[in-house]
A and B are shown apart, each in its own frame.
Chain A
């Protein structure tokens, strides 16, 4: 089962090594990791998506809490948080399929960043499933370049809404 951990860490160069090293040496597999500074420049937020049962995730949380630079670990329940990824894709178009491409882009609500004779560069964000779905839809056009972020997440303030 996929889990999303949101972690607050001290913002200094060694932190990534400490956290990623923990996953390597304890044999945990991570699907994605996303890092960015918070409103406090001394604190960064890391979002880690990993696959594992509750036992493994519990172990990961306990091990993370032992790292001195880790300030807080939160296990995000899917239903009670917003989860987003962003993808930038440049794919091929032709005279013939340009219309179809634009219809798809409109349907997904993507932002078109650049359009040339034979290509289009778009930006799309959504949850992991939506991003994967969008990629599969444009794949037949011929993907030239793709860049996809790791997942970030934030919990809803009202945890009783579901």
Chain B
């Protein structure tokens, strides 16, 4: 067909490639250097564009969409400031292994390097924070760069990629359709064969008396939840998950000991100390979880990961399987024997009984833990929950039990305040039939608060649970415990009226302050599928427990009941 070789613009070609890749939604913000591309996007019937209020919002939306659907998230920005506003999100996606494609406008190739208006070297800037990036110099190169970019974003350990798209290349005509040859080695995108000895790996687990499975975010990316459940049940082994792994194993399962780490449950952290075998499934011995070789000091350590550079990075391990988690577990499952672990399971159950998640719920004030738990009950644990960063994030992680993967969206590695609201928006676009709740605090909420407009303009049913203590609560907690109550710059001496603010965006809102208002508040918040904001006033002194102080290990865990001891 002669039509097949008809020349089209680079911008049109990019739109067609996005369509062919199955991209249904993109989050973006136009500007001078990306206008030719937006002009072509205008004609697309397959791609829905969500106009945001700030590029940081666009990339966090793409992250929320990707994390909740398992698909590629796509965001678009113009050159210069538009592109640099994506930096935080790219770094976030790199840390948490979220597949994101960012397309940025760039000044024309003839102007590059001349300090042109809205020029920034986004290729150079994003080298350390992307898995792959490219400056597209000719329209003929678009198919190759596009294919390399999405293969790398989705392949292996997922992550962000960026295509910098000069304005003249968007206009240039080309007949190229498909990449003739990729310039990247296949190991960057092909699903690797499992390397290691699955049988030996299984036998070490079989011999363990007190095994513990330690599940990370890799389990979500590998879609390995069913395999992990099968492994845990067959081996009769308790399971703890990292912050990023929540939902990869059902939080309400009898073998679940919940989250481990700095603010994990006491019983999970104590299980780490007592286990004689620990199997890391797609986690990375992060510093909020593992204090180098102090971690699981009595255990044989085993690790399955798709990223070979994670082996022995922070904590040395004894056994390694390199490959996709889902494939690797499938290979070891046939060799797993049941074994009697009743003594270990009863030890775990005793730990749960002796060291429960705890807080003082006596007074008339609302306790965030209590409220979070009631939101869990009312939504039957079925909601997708996004969070910002701080105390509210930990309370959500502790008191909302996640039974399904891809239902928990949080900035774990980078700890990005401002992530929660746009991530919830992206998730709602990807999951219109599910309840999506953004749990936030009065600090974080104000970092991407402009995206309330995106909710309003799309009439999107995003729920916002705002815990307000008029403080940067986690900063305050550290200052109280470790800086002799010198609350340096952690108190908001001014906060807006959040209820009126939400209402000005046509989002129904309510503030509650007393325990007796909780039922009324929950009813208002979750009664229908429309957007709503509930502002829950909580005491500034409320702290997140348990807690492992920074730089300490599991044995230094402070529980709620130890609080008196600490404060003296």
Residue of B nearest to A19 (CB): B127
CA distance A58 to B308 in the complex (A): 10
| In the complex, chain A residues whose CB is within 8 Å of the CB of B309 | 59, 62-63, 65-66
Partner of B132, one of A58, A62, A68: A68
Stretch at the interface among B81-89, B181-189, B505-513: B181-189
CA distance A55 to B131 in the complex (A): 23
- Kindly state whether residue B152 has any CB partner on chain A within 8 Å: yes
A75 → B minimal CB distance (Å): 14
Q: Which of A45-62 contact B (CB under 8 A)?
A: 55, 58-59, 62
- Kindly state whether residue B123 has any CB partner on chain A within 8 Å: yes
- Kindly state whether residue A69 has any CB partner on chain B within 8 Å: yes
In the bound complex, do residue B152 and residue A62 qualify as a contact, i.e. CB atoms below 8 Å apart?
A: no
| In the complex, chain A residues whose CB is within 8 Å of the CB of B312 | 55, 58-59
Known: A17-B124, A65-B308. A71 touches B313 (CB 8 A): no
Known: A63-B309, A66-B307, A66-B309. A71 touches B185 (CB 8 A): yes
- Kindly state whether residue A109 has any CB partner on chain B within 8 Å: no
Q: Which of A11-31 contact B (CB under 8 A)?
A: 14, 17-18, 21, 25
- Kindly state whether residue A39 has any CB partner on chain B within 8 Å: no
B324 → A minimal CB distance (Å): 16
Residue of B nearest to A71 (CB): B185
Residue of A nearest to B310 (CB): A62
B181 → A minimal CB distance (Å): 10
Interface size (B, Cβ < 8 Å)?
22
| In the complex, chain B residues whose CB is within 8 Å of the CB of A21 | 127-128
In the bound complex, do residue B132 and residue A17 qualify as a contact, i.e. CB atoms below 8 Å apart?
A: no
In the bound complex, do residue A14 and residue B123 qualify as a contact, i.e. CB atoms below 8 Å apart?
A: yes
| In the complex, chain A residues whose CB is within 8 Å of the CB of B131 | 66, 68
- Kindly state whether residue B148 has any CB partner on chain A within 8 Å: yes
B142 → A minimal CB distance (Å): 16
Residue of A nearest to B132 (CB): A68
Residue of B nearest to A59 (CB): B309
In the bound complex, do residue B187 and residue A14 qualify as a contact, i.e. CB atoms below 8 Å apart?
A: no
| In the complex, chain A residues whose CB is within 8 Å of the CB of B134 | 14
| In the complex, chain B residues whose CB is within 8 Å of the CB of A18 | 127
Known: A17-B127, A21-B128, A25-B128. A68 touches B152 (CB 8 A): yes
Interface residues in chain B, defined as those with a beta carbon under 8 Å from any beta carbon in chain A: 123-124, 127-128, 131-135, 148, 152, 183-185, 187-188, 307-309, 311-313
Q: Which 6 residue pairs across A and B have the least CB separation, nearest first?
A: A62-B309, A68-B184, A62-B308, A68-B132, A71-B185, A21-B127
Inter-chain pairs besides A68-B188, A72-B185, 8 sampled, C-beta below 8 Å: A14-B127, A42-B183, A58-B312, A59-B313, A62-B311, A63-B309, A65-B309, A68-B184
20 A-B pairs with C-beta separation under 8 A? A14-B123, A17-B124, A17-B127, A42-B183, A55-B312, A59-B309, A59-B313, A62-B307, A62-B309, A62-B311, A65-B309, A66-B188, A68-B131, A68-B132, A68-B152, A68-B184, A68-B185, A69-B183, A71-B185, A72-B185
